[in-house]
Amino acid sequence: PGSPDEDGDRFVEIWNLVFMQFEQQADGTRIDLPKPAIDTGMGLERIAAVMQGQYDNYETDLFKKLIVASAEHSGVEPFGDQNTSLRVIADHLRSTSFLIADGVLPSNEGRGYVLRRIMRRAMRHAQMIGCAEPLMHQLVPALVGEMGQAFPELVRAQALVTETLLLEERRFRKTLDRGIRLLDEEVANLGQNKVLDGGVAFKLYDTYGFPLDLTQDALRAKDLTVDEDGFNAAMDKQKTEARAAWKGSGSTATETVWFEAREEFGATEFVGYNTTHGEGKILQIVVNDKTAKTAAEGDEVSVLVNQTPFYGESGGQVGDIGVFVTESGATIEINDTHKKLAALHVHVGKITAGNISRGDVVQMNVDQENRNKIRANHSVTHILHSALRTSLGDHLTQKGSLVAADKMRFDISHSKALTDSEIRKVEDDVNHIIRQNSEVTTRLMTPDEAIKAGAMALFGEKYGDEVRVVAMGSDPEGSDYSVELCGGTHVKRTGDIGYFKIISEGAVASGVRRLEVLTGNAACAYSAVQESYLSGAALTIKAPASELANRLSSLISERKVMEKEIADLQKKVAMGGGEPGSGDDVKEINGIKFIGQVLDGIPAKELRGLADEAKGRIGSGVVAFIAVNDGKAAVLTAVTDDLTADISAVELVRVGAAAVGGKGGGGRPDMAQAGGPNGAKANDAIKAIESAIA
């Protein structure tokens, strides 16, 4: 104390002990803890630095190799002036790679936004050290080489990590330069002020994807700060406006009703795993977002009962539909079942006969056919998940799903489109498990027991103290083909699914692909329709279906040849049977050769080639062609290089465009193009261009 080093910067804490003896009260007094304790914490990487004789973590062998790799790819010295940026890149590369390997993808909310902030801070530092191209994805092999043996999930997810980093850095670079320009402009306007307006920082965040800490980093280098209160105020204003819009929808009042219902009645008991029928007692009725003691025929209602066989929408599976009937004969057609506050099954429907009251006993019947279709679609998501991981790699994880009676949608973390052969392989594997017709088993376990038993838990899902573990199918070694934690409803045997067909595959977000799927009769009907299309096409071109692809390829090639021949003939007809610049079509205007023609029916895209031909034939001069199609005019002017100092193709094309009712036009001094809606004035446009040359 009292020395220049009293702030402790010359010391690095590698281990600490905290002796906990007192509990401090609100008034500042302290009382003895019932059981004093000692808490200890060790910095593993700091211990590694000590053992290796280094002063900090970044000089250990692990970080050195990442820093050297980063320096090599960016063309800077590894331990020179850019050392801070290289350290940031190395540290953030490691954290982002592990997050992606664990199933987190960059997004604008939640854990995905935390990942995006870390990634973008590193990418900003890559830009600061002069990297013109994306850097971080190039460093993944070095990270996997260092840590892949200890953490095999990095090896499995290497392709996904690489692709995700590349896509995110490309996306960020598109807005980074514009954001930096805005920041530089605002900094230049600060004058003597050292604080950037919080509203500007929020615009950088909201419009250009700059997290606040990234803006602060950029300002810190210039000895400036940001008005954090202003930033937070702008953020709060946006949230308040969004919250007001949500309140206006009536959702707030409705949610309050269900909070109160949960407090009063507790959770709904779900009895629908083994039955689609049951008896229950009406606990709460909601009409027009308000609780009601009774409801009459024609009312749209939300009904809460003490127990139900109706599955409430959750985990991607839609809610059940069906009917409630009271002892007095009142009937409620249930068209959806929601799950509120993770505890209440809320039945939404319309009273089609009689009146209902709180306390009524109801017979509940789930629509059996609809439930069976949902069961099949949900069970196939499990089989599909395993088939995809088997074919494409363990890096692949489920990112979302929609399980309905008429369709199933399945989102996966995968950076590339599935090829036709990959889709066929997955379909074959899934249908093989379906044909096994093996029993689908369900066991209740704790989450830890389930994971130890090999069950797959979906990242981000919340599980209770007891979970359902669903297993189905068998692999070549005799083990379960699919084992997952799941609270949804499933088929009894895989054969109940019937048949499986992928009908589409595409991208829905960065690094996320979506499969749309049909099962059972719907899949069979879809395949039958596709087969009828195939048969119809084969009949039309008079070839067996097996030769359809080759025959179509041949026809397409023949068509291209014919189209070229027709285009050549059209050109000759439009040019009067000759070639552009070959004779009578050439005029002289004040000693300058000029070709000006209206070409009916010639596609606008052909004009550039025709103009090049004409320029080549006349050697020196000006060309003006106007193509007329469907009453509209496309104007092109061209000037040989020796004349561009005195005559501009851009100026000429604007004259021609004005004559046919167009505006502007653009290009280069030697060639320019424009258009106009009045093709009937094409000849007037040629004359106007002639006059402009004269």
Looking at residue 664, its pLDDT comes to 78
Q: Is the pLDDT of residue 9 over 80?
A: no
Domain containing residue 512: CATH number: 3.30.980.10
Q: Which helix (H) or strand (E) holds 459?
A: none
- 5: pLDDT confidence band, cut at 50, 70 and 90? low
Task: Convert the pLDDT of each residue in 256-297 to its tens digit.
Answer: 888 888 888 888 999 999 899 999 999 999 999 899 999 999
Q: List the one residue out of 351, 261, 342 whose CA is nearest residue 306.
A: 261
Amino acid making up residue 512: V
Q: Is residue 219 part of a domain?
A: yes
Domain containing residue 348: CATH number: 2.40.30.130
Evaluate whether 599 touches 574 at the Cβ level (below 8 Å).
yes
Cα dihedral 241, 242, 243, 248 in deg (nearest 10): 90
Euclidean distance between CA atoms 67 and 79, whole angstroms? 8
Evaluate whether 515 touches 410 at the Cβ level (below 8 Å).
yes
Q: Are residues 586 and 523 in the same domain?
A: no
As a 3-state breakdown, the chain gives helix, strand, coil percent values, each rounded to 5, of: 45, 25, 30
Q: Is the pLDDT of residue 225 over 70?
A: yes
Euclidean distance between CA atoms 579 and 613, whole angstroms? 8
Contacts of 272 (CB under 8 A, 6+ apart): 278, 308, 309, 310, 311, 320, 366, 489
Q: Is residue 385 part of a domain?
A: yes
HEC-encoded secondary structure of 163-208: HHHHHHHHHHHHHHHHHHHHHHHHHHCCCCCCEECHHHHHHHHHHH
Q: Are residues 420 and 517 in the same domain?
A: yes
> Which of 190-199, 454-463, 679-688 is modeled with the greatest confidence?
679-688
Q: Which domain holds residue 640?
A: 575-693
Q: Is the pLDDT of residue 29 over 70?
A: yes
Q: Is residue 270 part of a domain?
A: yes
Q: Is residue 1 part of a domain?
A: no
Task: Convert the pLDDT of each residue in 122-150 to its tens digit.
Answer: 998 898 888 888 999 999 999 999 999 98
Q: Is residue 250 part of a domain?
A: no
Task: Convert the pLDDT of each residue in 83-130 to its tens digit.
Answer: 889 999 999 999 999 998 888 888 777 788 889 889 988 998 898 888
Q: How many CB atoms lie within 10 A of CB 650?
A: 19
**Mean pLDDT computed over 233-257:** 67
Q: Are residues 358 and 379 in the same domain?
A: no
Contacts of 396 (CB under 8 A, 6+ apart): 160, 388, 389, 412, 413, 414
Q: Are residues 584 and 490 in the same domain?
A: no
Task: Convert the pLDDT of each residue in 607-666 to its tens digit.
Answer: 998 899 889 888 999 999 999 999 999 999 999 999 999 999 999 999 999 999 998 778
Q: Is the pLDDT of residue 339 over 60?
A: yes
Domain containing residue 679: CATH number: 3.10.310.40
Looking at residue 250, its pLDDT comes to 47
Q: Is residue 541 part of a domain?
A: no
Picking from 240, 274, 292, the residue at the C-terminal end of a domain is 240
The pLDDT mean for the chain works out to: 87
| Number of domains observed in the structure of the chain | 4
Q: Which residue has the higher pLDDT, 639 or 570?
A: 639
> Residue 171: is it exposed, middle or buried by C-beta count within 10 angstroms (0-12/13-18/19+)?
middle
Q: Are residues 386 and 413 in the same domain?
A: yes
Q: Are residues 215 and 293 in the same domain?
A: no
Q: Are residues 584 and 681 in the same domain?
A: yes
Picking from 366, 392, 410, the residue at the C-terminal end of a domain is 366
Q: Are residues 199 and 93 in the same domain?
A: yes
Task: Convert the pLDDT of each residue in 583-621 to its tens digit.
Answer: 557 889 989 999 999 988 888 888 998 899 889 888 999
Q: Is residue 552 part of a domain?
A: no
Contacts 24+ apart (CB under 8 A), 645-651: 647/592, 647/622, 647/693, 648/672, 651/692
Looking at residue 580, its pLDDT comes to 55
Q: Are residues 221 and 337 in the same domain?
A: no
Looking at residue 583, its pLDDT comes to 52
Euclidean distance between CA atoms 324 and 280, whole angstroms? 10
Q: Is residue 511 part of a domain?
A: yes
Q: Are residues 426 and 503 in the same domain?
A: yes
Picking from 503, 528, 553, the residue at the C-terminal end of a domain is 528
Q: Are residues 344 and 378 in the same domain?
A: no
**Mean pLDDT computed over 176-182:** 80
Q: Are residues 267 and 226 in the same domain?
A: no
- 511: pLDDT confidence band, cut at 50, 70 and 90? confident
Q: Which helix (H) or strand (E) holds 544?
A: none
CA atoms within 13 A on the CB side of 358: 10
DSSP 575: T
